Amino acid sequence: MRRYSAFAIAREAARHHQGWERAWKSPAPKKSYDAIIVGAGGHGLATAYYLGRNHGIRNVAVIEKGWLGGGNTGRNTTIIRSNYLQDPSAAIFEKARSLYETLSQDLNYNIMFSPRGVMMLAQTEHELRGWQRTAHANKLQGIETEFIGPKKVKELCPIINLDGPRYPVLGALWQARGGTARHDAVAWGYARACSDMGMDIIQQTEVTGVRRDGGKVIGVETTKGFIGCTKLGIVVAGHSGVLAEMAGFRLPIESVALQALVSEPIKPCMDVVVMANTVHGYMSQSDKGEMVIGGGADGYNNYTQRGSFHHVEETVRALVETFPIISRLKMLRWWGGIVDMTGDRSPILSTTPVENCFINCGWGTGGFKAIPGSGWAMAELMAKGHSPLAEEFSLTRFREGRFIDESVAAGVAH
């Protein structure tokens, strides 16, 4: 694989850009692999990448029923932060955030990481105390955050209205090294690096069954035939329950839609990410000038990837109160993604009742920010059978009552 560089751009410009190679190969599947990852989203591709880079396991196939990065990876609002309250959550999200900072260099692919800062507004007295508590916890965890007052909030985000009639801004939890990245580029960068290591990325191939020999996985049935493997990683977000059932076990998750939208592009007016959890809306501005807006998950189980009017109305109404400047903008695009939610709103990174079968799911509405850390931990789990980052996120915690309750701790599932 040729490295991307300024010299490469100049060389190809002189040749009218006729010499560029495909970013990744699209081979036919082999009969068997040392490891198969089901799901070519960010988490699945990151798992494959760190299996090869950190553990030398490169006879790997990543199988995707649709197109690479076409699920939640390409449908989210790209927020990256690690200011969680619970220690296990803070550890894996901070690992991910720190990996994001050098990911463009590691992958030789510009993921457009922008550490513009993330602020989480305190709009009630209860929320104010909660974010102050989180700031203290983050200090103990070694994560750089701080609680800031309304004056600092206004300095960082001049378009904000501090004196909303329902929910005034009392302050915010500020993480200066949080930010955003280009979601498609993250998937493409990992895919290119995996392909360069000799891994097979097999798209438009649906897994229809998991074959076992006794209690041990030996491969998967697909629309392109049986493919054998020594180890199997299931990393399919909202469809995790379906794949788990094929393998012969159940997961404590439910799947719901999460919606987002972007406005028409406007001139730069906001260079931070703002999350308003009390009214449940969050917003940032993309490099193209669009206001990227997201809200809460649907209140009922579904597998739709479309939006619903009541959610958009509820989210936009709340944000217009906090950002009056956006009230006259037109909506440009609107979509949904299928997220998998656990009862404690924390992920599952675990071995399973089926030997050599591993599961990575339950990231809910906050999966994008975790991609590098998730892939790092999942790869270590598959290679060694144990990962310090994944230890607390085992399936056994639901049986033993060791919940990592981020829904209560953070006040939001993101």
Extract the runs of DSSP E, i.e. beta strands, from 313-413: 331-342, 348-351, 357-361
Q: Which of 210, 213, 127 is nearest to 172 (CA)?
A: 127
Asked if 226 and 89 sit in the same domain, the reply is yes
Within a domain: 320: yes
Q: Which of 357, 359, 173 is nearest to 251 (CA)?
A: 359
Per the structure, the count of domains in the chain is 2
Within a domain: 25: no
Q: Which of 331, 291, 285, 294 is nearest to 314 (CA)?
A: 294
Asked if 245 and 138 sit in the same domain, the reply is no
Residue 114 in this model has a pLDDT that exceeds 60:
yes
| pLDDT tens string 383-414 | 999 999 999 999 999 999 999 988 754 445 44
Within a domain: 23: no
pLDDT of residue 413: 44
Asked if 202 and 155 sit in the same domain, the reply is no
Asked if 266 and 310 sit in the same domain, the reply is yes
Asked if 49 and 100 sit in the same domain, the reply is yes
Residue 147 in this model has a pLDDT that exceeds 50:
yes
Asked if 248 and 260 sit in the same domain, the reply is no
Q: Among 324, 342, 360, which residue terminates a domain?
A: 342
pLDDT of residue 414: 46
Asked if 281 and 231 sit in the same domain, the reply is no
Tokens found for residue 153: 């909030």
Within a domain: 9: no
Within a domain: 19: no
Tokens found for residue 48: 């494959």
Q: State what percent of residues in the chain have pLDDT above 70.
A: 98
Containing structural domain, residue 243: 32-82+84-108+183-252+345-410
Q: What is the CATH number of the domain that holds 134?
A: 3.30.9.10
What DSSP character marks residue 22?
P
pLDDT of residue 271: 95
pLDDT of residue 311: 77
pLDDT of residue 209: 97
pLDDT of residue 309: 76
Measured CA to CA, the distance from residue 157 to residue 272 in angstroms comes to: 7
pLDDT of residue 408: 53
Residue 352 in this model has a pLDDT that exceeds 90:
yes
Within a domain: 8: no
Mode of pairing for the β-strands spanning 171-175 and 118-122: antiparallel
Asked if 167 and 58 sit in the same domain, the reply is no
Measured CA to CA, the distance from residue 293 to residue 283 in angstroms comes to: 5
Residue 355: CB atoms within 10 Å: 14
Tokens found for residue 228: 């054998």
* Average pLDDT score, the chain: 93
Q: Among 294, 325, 342, which residue terminates a domain?
A: 342
Within a domain: 49: yes
Q: What is the CATH number of the domain that holds 88?
A: 3.50.50.60
Asked if 193 and 240 sit in the same domain, the reply is yes
Residue 243 in this model has a pLDDT that exceeds 70:
yes
Asked if 156 and 270 sit in the same domain, the reply is yes
Measured CA to CA, the distance from residue 308 to residue 296 in angstroms comes to: 12
Mean pLDDT, to the nearest integer, of 362-382? 95
Position with higher pLDDT, 28 vs 409: 28
Outline where 77-124 has alpha helix (H): 87-101, 103-107
Asked if 201 and 303 sit in the same domain, the reply is no
Measured CA to CA, the distance from residue 240 to residue 24 in angstroms comes to: 26
Within a domain: 3: no
Measured CA to CA, the distance from residue 211 to residue 410 in angstroms comes to: 40
Asked if 167 and 68 sit in the same domain, the reply is no
Q: Which of 288, 295, 298, 296 is nearest to 263 (CA)?
A: 288
> Tokens 């990592």 appear where?
404
Q: Among 301, 325, 342, which residue terminates a domain?
A: 342
